[in-house]
């Protein structure tokens, strides 16, 4: 009797557990959570040791941070900035011209361009730590869009061993009010 009861129960469980499943569902597509608008880290000023410094680089600036403070440039370094305002701004650049390089190149003239407008052309007779600062015509700038800054050196040092092109040592650049 017990074996018959066990057999009927087992059969009943087997029959009721078999369910036909015609529909199946794929797992949901993974999605990133909404975190708000994408905001560029590019602003009005950058130090070369800033974690987002490379976001400012357009060309001719080394990806390698040296001395935890500076980067070598080549002949025509270009940076991009996004300005919130365009009134009463000064362009500022702090850099170093190497004495060893200038023994070979002699005096260096740097032309500073803001959005393809010549801001100034300065001849540097002596090497060392240098600072450039000059007011910018607000008509050359547009708030909320990229502003292109180029510092063009008339001469650069070309290392004989590896042909590396060395312009200036850049520490910081941007716009101040």
What is the tens place of the pLDDT at every residue in 62-76? 999 999 999 999 999
Query: What is the CATH number for 54?
Result: 2.60.120.260
More confident residue, 71 or 23: 71
Range of the domain at 160: 45-176
Whole-number Å distance between alpha carbons of 140 and 137: 6
Tell me how far apart the terminal alpha carbons of the chain are, to the nearest angstrom: 98
Residue 150 lies in a domain: yes
Residue 42: pLDDT band by 50, 70, 90 thresholds? confident
Contact 94, 131 (CB under 8 A): yes
Residue 166 lies in a domain: yes
Whole-number Å distance between alpha carbons of 104 and 107: 9
Whole-number Å distance between alpha carbons of 124 and 155: 11
The pLDDT value recorded for residue 16 is 60
Q: Is 163 left (phi over 0), alpha (psi -120 to 50) or beta?
A: left
Whole-number Å distance between alpha carbons of 22 and 49: 60
Residue 24 lies in a domain: no
Residue 3 lies in a domain: no
* pLDDT above 60 for 13: no
Residue 71 lies in a domain: yes
> What's the 3-state SS for 127-147?
CEEEEEEEECCHHHCCCCCEE
Mean pLDDT, the chain, whole residue set = 88
The residue whose two tokens read 């009010």 is: 177
Number of separate domains in the chain: 1
Residue 170 lies in a domain: yes
Residue 92 lies in a domain: yes
What is the tens place of the pLDDT at every residue in 110-155? 999 999 999 999 999 999 999 999 999 999 999 999 999 999 999 9
The pLDDT value recorded for residue 39 is 59
Residue 36 lies in a domain: no
Residue 41: pLDDT band by 50, 70, 90 thresholds? confident
């Amino acid at each position: 009797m017990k074996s018959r009861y066990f057999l009927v129960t087992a059969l009943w469980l087997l029959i009721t557990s078999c369910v036909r499943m015609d529909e199946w569902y794929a797992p949901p597509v993974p999605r990133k959570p909404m975190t708000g608008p994408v905001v560029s880290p590019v602003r009005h000023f950058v130090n070369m040791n800033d974690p987002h410094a490379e976001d400012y680089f357009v060309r001719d600036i080394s990806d390698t941070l040296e001395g935890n403070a500076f980067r070598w440039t080549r002949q025509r370094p270009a940076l991009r900035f996004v300005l919130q305002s365009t009134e009463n701004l000064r362009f500022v650049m702090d850099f170093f011209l190497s004495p060893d390089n200038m023994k070979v190149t002699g005096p260096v003239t740097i032309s500073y361009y803001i959005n393809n407008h010549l801001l100034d052309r300065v001849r540097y007779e002596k090497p060392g730590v240098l600072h450039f600062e000059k007011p910018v015509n607000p008509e050359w700038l547009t708030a909320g869009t990229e502003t292109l800054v180029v510092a063009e050196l008339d001469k650069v040092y070309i290392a004989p061993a590896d042909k590396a092109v060395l312009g200036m040592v850049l520490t910081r650049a941007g716009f101040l009010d």
